Structure 1
């Protein structure tokens, strides 16, 4: 590398990245048009216009590359860019808290990486250098995080977790991945709808549906959708988490590396860590699986909405492994999973009531169909009873999952049924309390105790505790923060 004060350009191969990305869809698009019966002259004209647009965009990218420079000095990291409208951004070097590296297949083909340098601030706290040669990207990361150059940027003090391939099977019960696969398939059907109509695919499906019994016509597609969703979620999980490693480095940084086609390296300075969360979605919980997430400053749910896995410290894995990693990250012997303080019976009544209200539309629909004569009375009664039983079961499960306790330096809160979340939050990281009561909670003598912090979602609740117990718990968790606002109630 040149002297630290020299301005440098990005790698010129970044211009080819845009060219490849623009031209890549041309071949399948032209192929689909020809298969659909489009005039070859029309296809050739479209291809020519496409290529011309690609040339124009590539020229603009080359101009942008020429006017983009960056500099890493002893005090600041700076980026200048823009041909007509110039911008100059800089970050204090001593405020740098993360250096994340990403390389999609095109970047990897050309030996490039995208370097994201962050300070942990929510606004204007990140610089992105798109188009750094891979060795230079590793050296930049080492220089900014380790505060010195290193001959082996891959070296780390120790691995906290490595992915075992068998863990990828948990993707089959990860509903978010399955929904993502179904969404992609629905989008593909929408994009190629005209082609399917031309070849009579929809008509053939309709004829087959009418030719078979109703249970078969519904059951087989439903089973196929489930199998495709499970297989697709496995492949998506393979791309996301392959070769996953979590390491603790001598710089006081947690580093996550993962990805099959798109390689990602995500860094988190432990000074920013305020706790961890063990998340157990319902299906994953039934198979004794869980995932571990970081609760850290600069990793809010709003900011990371476009990349929900930025805070993941361990992908879906056995529950025991998720808790072990959580304990390792926190520096504890074990992650507390027992000894939680239970909540009043009134909290159970509230959860069963809300669950029954959620089941009411299904029961109402069944009763309406029976009254109109669309279905017999027997199945309608079965739907009503089954909906009520399922609602009660979910309400009881939600109540059983409630719990809170103090454990050393941490406040622990557990809640949820669709997704059970156990959060260990540093008591020193709590900056305030909120006490919330609805009308119905006041009648039951309950309240929500909400710890506010500058990390993660910003608020972590202990719901439906008795009013006096909640105030006492908050006061014990962070002594003297709440004391000036409390008055003892004299005994009668």
Structure 2
């Protein structure tokens, strides 16, 4: 659960005392205008195309972009920060001055990232996680800090070194002290790139291209059907039967997604390294063009999650995510700070998860299945949905609104539903081992969650109408880290109570009435 006093925002026109305030690096003045220009690329491309066609559209969009560039430059002159023995303070704003104050004992993580332009200019972006795991909250951000100063920041905040008091910008840019020795837990093996095509991260590239194309069309008033490549593609697809055209589009999409996913894997995880610092922190470093370094306090670690997406599971791969307060989990496991191991062999994922937890028993412990009633519920739900789709398709085919080959193809949903239900029921399981609650569930993404029982701060027991009829319930463990809610799905109702009592003795007793 989040704490309402983790971040205190104070609006005022001035602060008492000016000692120790640091500015962002002046080199950031070159970063923000370029970033805004990159965002305007679709508008610029559309404007150029429209100008070649004799149009005069898009100038207002460029004017708005110029204003955004100016505001980005103004950010340097209105942003400063300082670190005292007790607080981290960030001061920003021109028309409305705001001071963001974070108690140092609330700092949970420090995330240092640098994209290509940052690296060329020796800059970095620092995000200080404060334990607020809301998807809308991303902690304290400093975009445009010198790379050396960024390294010093995470040493000051998480390694508990002496707090420096730089009086000048030159002192703030000074290099970090010699790092303490670290223990390496995992390092990227180049052979793991073979798991790239099975991550489906290339679908994001398709989304980006579609968004870019849509803005290009809107800004430049472009008729895409008149572009040569698009026109030839449409003509080619029009010359073949519809099923063959669909197959061609599907094959081209699969190839593109596989290649883009592999490239994305290399860009995101090249140079990956997971280490443990003697001060009690974990460090994750990764990235080829955009580098990222995340520091996590181990005492804030609530558990781990071994995640196996369906395609990755077919090649016996998995990834490891951390459950900790202060980690940003709302942006996905690949981009968020919770990733402790990229897609890798399942055996390696188990090894790393055991090293992070300090014990392998919870990773390898056998699980208790949820029984035949939970299995029947999986088959009923899967087949009911598939049957409704098939019946709807048959009605549309009978009315002439859908070709009959599509109706026949929809029958394939029935065996797919059976396979999905079998996999989902086989995934269900739970256990308590070595002070950890273990829950496994899911098919499209199978998750094995290992949550420390001393991190559980509450229980939710949910029973829908159909669950009550089947004598089942969903037990949800509430914690302050990660997604904050981790379920044990469709467990027998009496087993849900026994499990909650065994995990955290005494927590439920005041709410349970003996029959």
- Residue in structure 2 matching 1:320, options 329, 347, 359: 347
CA distance in 2, matches of 1:64, 1:376: 58
- Residue in structure 1 matching 2:35, options 6, 21, 40: 21
Mapped contact 2:159–2:279 kept (Cα < 8 A): yes
Q: Which residue does the alignment assign to 2:123?
A: 112
CA distance in 1, matches of 2:40, 2:486: 49
1:178–1:25 Cα change, 3 Å: closer
Is 1:352 the counterpart of 2:379? The answer is yes
Is 1:426 the counterpart of 2:437? The answer is no
CA distance in 1, matches of 2:227, 2:234: 14
Shift, 1:375, TM fit: 8.2
Mapped contact 1:355–1:394 kept (Cα < 8 A): yes
Matches within 5 A, 1:28-427: 34=48, 38=52, 50=62, 54=66, 59-122=70-133, 126-148=139-161, 152=177, 155-175=180-200, 177-193=201-217, 194=222, 196-299=224-327, 301-302=329-330, 304=331, 308-368=335-395, 370-372=397-399, 380=407, 383-384=410-411, 386-427=412-453
Mapped contact 1:91–1:125 kept (Cα < 8 A): no
CA distance in 2, matches of 1:42, 1:174: 43
- Stretches of structure 2 that go unaligned for 5 or more consecutive residues are 1-17, 163-174
- Bigger relative contact order, structure 1 or 2, given CA contacts below 8 A and separation 6+? 2
Is 1:6 the counterpart of 2:15? The answer is no
Mapped contact 1:97–1:119 kept (Cα < 8 A): yes
Task: Please give the secondary structure, in 1, of the residue aligned with 2:35.
Answer: helix
Q: Which residue does the alignment assign to 2:12?
A: none
> Which digits, 9 at most, give the CA deviation of each residue in 1:206-230, with x for residues without a partner?
3222323444433222211110111
> Which digits, 9 at most, give the CA deviation of each residue in 1:23-73, with x for residues without a partner?
457788656655666279969x969x959964x655544443223222222
CA distance in 2, matches of 1:75, 1:425: 31
Mapped contact 1:98–1:267 kept (Cα < 8 A): yes
Task: Please give the secondary structure, in 2, of the residue aligned with 1:180.
Answer: helix
1:211–1:412 Cα change, 3 Å: same
- Stretches of structure 1 that go unaligned for 5 or more consecutive residues are none
Task: Please give the secondary structure, in 2, of the residue aligned with 1:336.
Answer: helix
CA distance in 1, matches of 2:41, 2:393: 51
Shift, 1:464, TM fit: 1.8
Task: Please give the secondary structure, in 1, of the residue aligned with 2:337.
Answer: helix
TM-score computed with the length of structure 2 as normaliser: 0.84
Q: How many residues align structurally? A: 480
Mapped contact 1:326–1:335 kept (Cα < 8 A): no
Task: Please give the secondary structure, in 2, of the residue aligned with 1:13.
Answer: helix
CA distance in 2, matches of 1:207, 1:486: 69
Shift, 1:256, TM fit: 0.9
Mapped contact 2:42–2:213 kept (Cα < 8 A): no
CA distance in 1, matches of 2:213, 2:33: 27
CA distance in 1, matches of 2:231, 2:296: 54
Shift, 1:368, TM fit: 2.7
- Residue in structure 1 matching 2:497, options 471, 475, 480: 471
CA distance in 1, matches of 2:397, 2:132: 58
Mapped contact 1:104–1:261 kept (Cα < 8 A): yes
Shift, 1:113, TM fit: 1.0
TM-score computed with the length of structure 1 as normaliser: 0.88
Mapped contact 1:36–1:198 kept (Cα < 8 A): no
Task: Please give the secondary structure, in 1, of the residue aligned with 2:483.
Answer: coil
Shift, 1:408, TM fit: 0.7
Shift, 1:127, TM fit: 2.1
Shift, 1:400, TM fit: 0.9
